[in-house]
Structure 1
Amino acid sequence: MSAPSATAASTARGPGRVLVAVYAVFALAASARAGVQLVRDWHEAPLAYALSGLAAVVYVVATLALARGWRVVATAAVSVELVGVLVVGAFSLADPAAFPRATVWSAFGQGYGYVPLVLPLLGLLWLRHTRPRPTEPARSTFEPA
């Protein structure tokens, strides 16, 4: 991965540090939860627990990408997270029998105070806010200001 351009604000500075920290907490929590669910309780709810594993991977990738300034990877991971929480959230409410056990994204992240629903929105907004801007061309000394 290449380093961020000089005209781009870092994704891990200022409020971005808080965003990365929240992603790191979710990466750790989702990974631990998914690990236990997949190893110990797989037979109870394979779909829900597989989605917990997917959520964990997405949070880990998003955390690393935001922290390192890998904008394309971060945008992809956060976008996948948003689609995941919307699709899984809607599906878990429409067909509760398919989700006998909750995932991070079930009911739009209700079990986590809806943070999983808000987090990707904040992530995408932050990525947009810190996106590279074209540099202004130099003015000629003969052009009026």
Structure 2
Amino acid sequence: MPEIELDAAATDPAPRTSGLGRVLITVYLILALAATLRAIYQIVSKFDEAPLAYSLSLVSGVVYIVATVALLKRTGVWRTVAWVTLIFEFAGVLIVGTLSFTHPGLFAHPSVWSWFGAGYLLVPLVLPVLGMIWLHRTRDGRARLAGTEAVR
């Protein structure tokens, strides 16, 4: 029987700029810019009012920037960076979200992750979960083709 050749494009991971990938990266970019620029403004103009909240907002903004770049690259070490940033981000939202309810005095002014990201329509809570699902689904183009190896 003749060998079936798989086209190189068919074995590559799904394009990062189509479908869910495009939406995910766009939302990450918007959130990265919004969180970072807002935090810089708050730190420069009124840091003494809420140093913890504004510092956490800057940390989240930097994490979103790194996550955006890692999701765009999505191969090799960047894939690991993407996983680390998404897990860090999700843990941050859960920890800060919980603390904002149990210790509201710490967050007299909201951060991006306060109240589980309620000030950002809960996007900070949902986005890392969607990112991890997307990374898992696109982990290896060859894994999706597992039953279509060359027939001999």
From 89, 107, 111, give the equivalent of 2:115.
107
**Counterpart position of 2:7:** none
The aligned counterpart of 1:91 is 99
Whole-angstrom CA distance in 2 between matches of 1:61 and 1:95: 29
Q: What CA RMSD, in Å, does the superposition of the two structures yield over aligned residues?
A: 1.5
Aligned to 2:34, the other structure's residue is in SS state: helix
Q: Distance in 1 between matches of 2:136 and 2:24?
A: 14
What TM-score do you get using the length of structure 2 for normalisation?
0.82
2:48 partner amino acid: H
State TM-score, norm by structure 1: 0.86
Q: 1:112 deviation in Å?
A: 1.1
Q: State the match for 1:122 in structure 2.
A: 130
Q: Which has the larger displacement, 99-108 or 64-73?
A: 64-73
Confirm or deny that 1:55 pairs with 2:63.
no
Structure 1 spans left out of the alignment, 5+ residues: 1-5, 141-145
Give the whole-Å Cα distance in 2 for the aligned partners of 1:108 and 1:11: 27
> 1:40, CA displacement in angstroms?
1.1
Instruction: Give unmatched runs, 5+ long, in structure 2.
Output: 1-10
1:26 matched to 2:31: yes
| Contact 1:12–1:66, Cα closer than 8 Å, also in 2 | no
The C-alpha deviation readout for 1:28-55, integer Å capped at 9, x for no partner, is 1001111011111110111111100100
Inter-partner Cα distance in structure 2 for 1:9 and 1:80: 25
Structure 1 residue 9 displacement after superposition:
2.3
Aligned amino acid, residue 93 of structure 1: F
Letter in 1 for 2:100: S
User: What's the CA shift for 1:20?
Assistant: 0.4
Pick which of 71-80 and 101-110 moved more: 71-80
2 CA distance for matches of 1:71 and 1:125? 13
Task: Indicate the percent of aligned positions where both proteins have the same amino acid.
Answer: 49
**Inter-partner Cα distance in structure 2 for 1:78 and 1:38:** 24
Q: Which moved more, 1:14-23 or 1:68-77?
A: 68-77
Question: Displacement, 1:8?
Answer: 2.4
